[in-house]
Every structure is written in C-alpha cells, then in structure tokens.
Amino acid sequence: MQKKAQYTITLMIVSLLASLGVSSTFLLTKDTIKRKELAVRTDALYMVLPGLEGSPSEITPSEVSDQDRVYKGQNTAGQLIGYAACGEAQGYSSKIKVMVGMDPHLEKIIGVNILAQNETPGLGTKMIEVESTST
C-alpha cells in the first residue's frame, strides 16, 4: 500500500510540473503569436489588394465570428480599390485559412492568399505554390 501512495504522489507532482510548464509557455508566447498572426494578415492584405496604401479598415459586422473578417482597402487618394475577406474552412486533414481580394464592385477576384494550412505534404501543400504568369 505504501508503494501505491508513493506512485500516486509522484504522478501528481509530475503532472503538476508538466501543466505548469505548458501554461507558462502559453502565457509567455501568447503576445508573440498574436503579433505574428497580425503581421501575416497584414502582409496578405497587401498581397490580395494590389495598390493598397496605408492600413485597410476593418468593416466586419459584429455578429461575424473572429476568424471571418472583411476589410476595405483604399489608396492614398482615398479611392476604394477593393475588399478583402478572410475566412477558414475544413480541408481534407486540417483547417485552411484563406484571404481573398475582390474589386470594388465585387465582380472579380483580384488576389488569393493562403494564410495557414497543414494539408498533406506534396499534395495539399501545392495550393500555396504561385504559378508563373510569364512564359
């Protein structure tokens, strides 16, 4: 019976230390992760809205979920150059986060950027390869 109690206490201590390590790592890296996500999103906005100058304004309705966002892009003259929408959907093996840029009349897609994906290497990862338009 003595050994059983000793094993239980040892397991509790190891579990406590492991959970303390995981939670402290999360707290230490939380702000860095947020900054990186914002930088990736900002870079994607400039990629899907060619001609965007300054920072785009977010026009997402309040009832929309956090991962789905809509932005309005303007140039320095204040002319609307288009809209960008960010969303995510389930792929084959992971969630795929995509940003799409559309013209001001919402008639034509002017840019697409894959923000995040963890699909099968060699097959699903081909979605992020940029095709050459020059021959």
List the domain range (segments joined by +) for residue 11: 2-128
Q: How many domains does the chain have?
A: 1
Query: What is the structure's pLDDT at 40?
Result: 87
Over the chain (135 residues), what is each successive 10-residue block's mean pLDDT? 89 96 96 90 89 82 76 88 90 86 92 84 68 54
CA distance 31 to 109: 33
Q: Whole-model pTM above 0.75?
A: no
Q: Is residue 134 part of a domain?
A: no
At 92 the pLDDT is 82
Q: Which residues contact 75 (CB under 8 A, 6 or more apart)?
A: 51, 52, 53, 81
What pLDDT, on a 0 to 100 scale, did the predictor assign at position 29? 96
Q: According to the model, what pLDDT value does residue 132 have?
A: 53
Query: Is position 115 within any domain?
Result: yes
**Has residue 135 been placed in a domain?**
no
Indicate whether 107 belongs to any domain.
yes
